[in-house]
Structure formats: C-alpha cells, structure tokens
C-alpha cells in the first residue's frame, strides 16, 4: 500500500464510508403542512468519504476526501447544496449552516403551532502528519499521520409545539460519526 517506499517499515491505514439517505426533522402526522413541503425539513444524500494515512519509510502524505448533498426546506420548497468543496452550503459567522427556521400554524388544529430551529454545521476533512529528519537522509518518513472526515452534518434541531402555552420542547442532537485513519512509526535505534 505504501506506493512510494522502497524498503520495509511503512504502515498504511485506510477507511471508506458511504451513507444512505438521512432525513432530519419531520412534522407530526395529521398536521397541515406548508407550501412545497415534501415530508422533511433537512435531508442528507450521497455521502461518501475516504481517509488514508501512512507512516514510516517513504510514506505518502495523509489524504481525506468527502462528498455529499444537503437539501433543506426554504419556506416554499427546497434548496440543495454540496456539503464539501467549492460552492458548498452557506454558513454564518459561527460556522452554522444557513437554514431558515420553520414556523407552522396548524390549520387543522387552530391555535397549534410548531417551530423548528436548526443549529447545524457541515462536515470537514482534516489531515496532519509529522515528518522525521534523519542521517542518512530519509525522505518522506513520517512518525505519525492522521486523516479524518467529521460527521457530514452535526449539531441540533430544536422543536417547540405550542397551543397558547408550550406543549412540548425537544432538542434532537445530530452526530453521524467521524471516519478516521491513523498510522504511527518509530525509527529503529540505529536511525534507519
């Protein structure tokens, strides 16, 4: 796996993840839905990520790649954007995804309202490594390397149901886990 090494002493770690469709936030059955509502508030689709890390003689730099799409209700329909890379979903000054809060006055149950407020962040890919220096020269020798892809979407979705007075207050936490590849290497006492 260590394609740039010419001798023994290289560790390779690699992981890949593919997630199906993930729906975050729905409205209870039997309430009136807003215009353009397709049955969900936020949906994550097409998430795939790969992380690779090598350590040792002739090791390659760590890499982390990810892709996926976020769709969210915008008040009259849905907006879709990429979770990663150029043209990724917009975030505010705090790093939260710019998704409008939802307020629904239930026409089937006059006086009942539902508010959904998101505080969600998008995922990130992160790499780090430590290059060694040795005599004789040992190019591309790392003592450790790490590559990770964080949860594609994380944070909270807050629900409040009211009918004159507050009937329910619920916060759902969202964390789809982190994908991690980590490798370490210790030189022989001779330094080779």
Residue 28 pLDDT level (bands cut at 50, 70, 90) = confident
pLDDT band at residue 10 under the 50/70/90 scheme? confident
Model pLDDT for residues 92-111, shown as the tens digit of each residue: 999 999 999 999 999 988 99
pLDDT tens-digit readout, 40-67: 999 999 999 999 999 998 899 999 999 9
Q: Percentage of the chain with pLDDT > 70?
A: 96
For 12, 19, 132, the CA distances from 188, given in Å and listed in that order, are 18, 41, 13
CA-to-CA distance for 32 and 105, rounded, in angstroms?
A: 8
pLDDT for residue 123: 93
Q: Give the pLDDT mean for 128-156.
A: 90
pLDDT at 6: 65
Cα–Cα distance for residue pair 79/67, rounded to 1 Å: 17
Question: What local confidence, expressed as pLDDT, does residue 8 receive?
Answer: 74
Give the CB-side neighbour count of residue 71, counting CA atoms within 13 A.
14
Write down the pTM of the prediction. Answer: 0.86
Tell whether the model's pLDDT for residue 191 goes beyond 70: no
Instruction: In whole angstroms, give the CA distance from residue 40 to residue 78.
Output: 10
* Sign, Cα dihedral of 95, 100, 103, 108: negative
Predicted confidence band of residue 161 (pLDDT cuts 50, 70, 90): very high
CA distance 51 to 129: 13
Q: Which DSSP string do the residues of 23-80 spell out, in sequence order?
A: EE--PPTTSPPPTT--S-SEEEEEEEEEEEEEEETTPPPPEEEEEEEEEEE-SSSEEE
């Amino acid at each position: 796996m260590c394609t740039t090494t010419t001798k023994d002493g290289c560790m390779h770690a690699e992981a890949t993840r593919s997630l199906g469709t993930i729906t975050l936030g729905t409205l209870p059955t039997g309430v009136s839905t807003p215009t353009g509502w397709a049955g969900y508030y936020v949906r994550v689709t097409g998430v795939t990520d790969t992380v690779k890390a090598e350590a040792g003689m002739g090791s390659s730099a760590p890499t982390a790649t990810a892709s996926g799409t976020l769709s969210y209700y915008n008040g009259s329909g849905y907006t879709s954007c990429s979770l990663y890379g150029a043209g990724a979903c917009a975030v505010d000054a705090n790093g939260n995804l710019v998704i409008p809060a939802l307020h629904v006055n239930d026409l089937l149950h006059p006086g009942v309202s539902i508010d959904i407020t998101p505080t969600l962040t998008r995922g990130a890919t992160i790499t780090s490594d430590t290059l060694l220096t040795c005599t004789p020269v040992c190019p591309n020798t790392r003592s450790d390397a790490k590559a990770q892809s964080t949860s594609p979407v994380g944070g909270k979705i807050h629900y409040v149901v009211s009918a004159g007075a507050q009937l329910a207050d619920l916060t759902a936490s969202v964390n789809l886990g982190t994908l991690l590849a980590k490798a370490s290497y210790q030189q022989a006492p001779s330094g080779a």
